[in-house]
């Protein structure tokens, strides 16, 4: 049963990181902005190599995500995971600090983004499996380049 919503998120975040109070206040109660600000804070800790802060962020994110209601879960999927990157020299260490639950959620988000960004593939209507053949060309009304026997 979900136990964490927007109020629980903000309360837990500010209890763990009181320095984010002004940043969260500027979000004006917009959950996705609050979660995005938390993600940027997390990513900045990684960028500085501040592993104790990064690990605290990850532990908090895991705890909140595990009990998130639908709105908070969606905000994490859209506004938290997409802000995290694991490229560069610090990427592997940052990935290792993610909990298995957060790794799985990040992989799911990444796979969905890759699927959405893939070039669209129109289904073939000529009956071929994608390879060009004389028969396929003939079906489309084109002549084969092979000479006809006389």
Residue 28 DSSP code: T
- Each residue's pLDDT tens digit, 1-49: 567 788 999 999 999 999 999 999 999 999 999 999 999 999 999 999 9
Percent of the chain at pLDDT exceeding 90: 65
Q: Which residue from 106, 102, 47, 57 is spatially nearest to 78, judged by alpha carbons?
A: 106
Please indicate, yes or no, whether the overall pTM of this predicted structure exceeds 0.85.
Answer: no
Q: Which residue from 68, 80, 62 is spatially nearest to 6, judged by alpha carbons?
A: 68
């Amino acid at each position: 049963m979900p136990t964490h919503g927007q109020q629980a998120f903000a309360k837990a975040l500010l209890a763990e990181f009181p320095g984010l109070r002004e940043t969260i206040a500027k979000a004006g109660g917009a959950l996705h902005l609050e979660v995005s600000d938390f993600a940027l804070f997390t990513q900045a800790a990684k960028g500085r190599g501040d592993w104790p802060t990064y690990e605290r962020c990850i532990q908090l994110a895991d705890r909140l995500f595990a009990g998130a209601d639908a709105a908070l879960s969606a905000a994490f999927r859209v506004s938290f995971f997409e802000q995290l990157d694991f490229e560069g020299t610090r990427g592997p260490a940052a990935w290792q600090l993610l909990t298995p639950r957060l790794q799985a959620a990040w992989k799911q988000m990444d796979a969905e983004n890759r699927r959405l960004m893939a070039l669209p593939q129109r289904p073939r209507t000529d009956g071929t499996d994608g390879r060009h053949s004389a028969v396929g060309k003939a079906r489309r009304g084109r002549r084969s380049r092979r000479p006809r026997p006389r």
